[in-house]
Amino acid sequence: MEQIIANHFTIIAFVSLGLGYLLGSIPFGLVLVRMAGLGDIRTVGSGNIGATNVLRTGRKDLALATLILDSGKGAAAVLIASHWGLQAEMGAAFGAFLGHLYPVWLKFKGGKGVATTLGILLAFVPLAGLASCVTWAVTAAVTRISSLSALMAMLLAPFFAIYFYPDQKTYFLIGTMAVIVWYKHKDNIKRIIIGTEPRIGQKKQTEQKTADAGQQ
């Protein structure tokens, strides 16, 4: 009987992961920019589909909508899966995260996962998610560097999870996502170190193709 129950929960986790992936893989930045008649966002700025690069189109409204929807899809995946327990939530969370980073529709070339991760955190571990958002906002206000703000928020997110939710043991999943986000920002980290990372609101030449400055 215990084995049957364990298998049941494992199946639920995998199904939730798949559903989360499908939600997470919706490329809202690409869709919104195309609907606005601005072409393919992958030909603009860094070529990234996240909110930071959408902002480089000059449309703040589209960038804000992308940020909200990318966060929302992560939160939605977790909230839907919450009806089936913690394993389902964890599966859906990781699925949505992977879907945003590696969407099948875009040949597995997606965003860097910051906005989606923050949405997941707000739905999954709300206090840790809120603390991570505050970390992003404070770092952005001080440094005006989106990528650095994202990196700091992701660095502290597992520790916020441990502090606010010590019994849930979600910090390993959150830590794994944080490590992947840091890896996706490796080019940004190099530019931060040498002092060439763009600041929030800084314009780039349209023909310049660099890695995304940070939050999606």
Comparing CA positions, the residue from 55, 79, 78 lying closest to residue 66 is: 55
Average the pLDDT over each of 5-14, 108-117, 154-163, 185-194 and give the range with the smallest value: 5-14
Question: What pLDDT is attached to residue 10?
Answer: 77
* Cα separation, 174 vs 196, whole angstroms: 29
pLDDT digits (tens, 9 = 90+) for 7-51: 445 788 889 999 999 999 999 999 999 999 888 888 887 778 888
Distance of CA 154 to the CA centre of its chain: 10
User: Binning pLDDT at 50, 70 and 90, where does residue 208 land?
Assistant: very low
Residue 107 pLDDT exceeds 80: yes
Give domain limits for the chain: 2-194
% helix / strand / coil in the chain, to the nearest 5? 70, 0, 30
* Cα separation, 115 vs 100, whole angstroms: 10
pLDDT digits (tens, 9 = 90+) for 126-184: 999 999 999 999 999 999 998 999 999 999 999 999 999 988 778 899 999 999 999 99
pLDDT digits (tens, 9 = 90+) for 48-99: 888 888 888 888 899 999 999 999 999 999 999 998 888 899 999 999 999 9
Question: What pLDDT is attached to residue 186?
Answer: 94
CB contact at 8 A, 99 and 17: no
Q: Which two tokens stand for residue 6?
A: 């364990």
Q: Which two tokens stand for residue 53?
A: 């690069």
Residue 204 pLDDT exceeds 80: no
> Residue 179: in which H helix or E strand, if any?
helix 171-184
Name which residue leads in pLDDT, 4 or 88.
Answer: 88
> Which amino acid makes up residue 74?
G
* Cα separation, 97 vs 153, whole angstroms: 16
User: Binning pLDDT at 50, 70 and 90, where does residue 215 land?
Assistant: very low
User: Binning pLDDT at 50, 70 and 90, where does residue 203 land?
Assistant: low
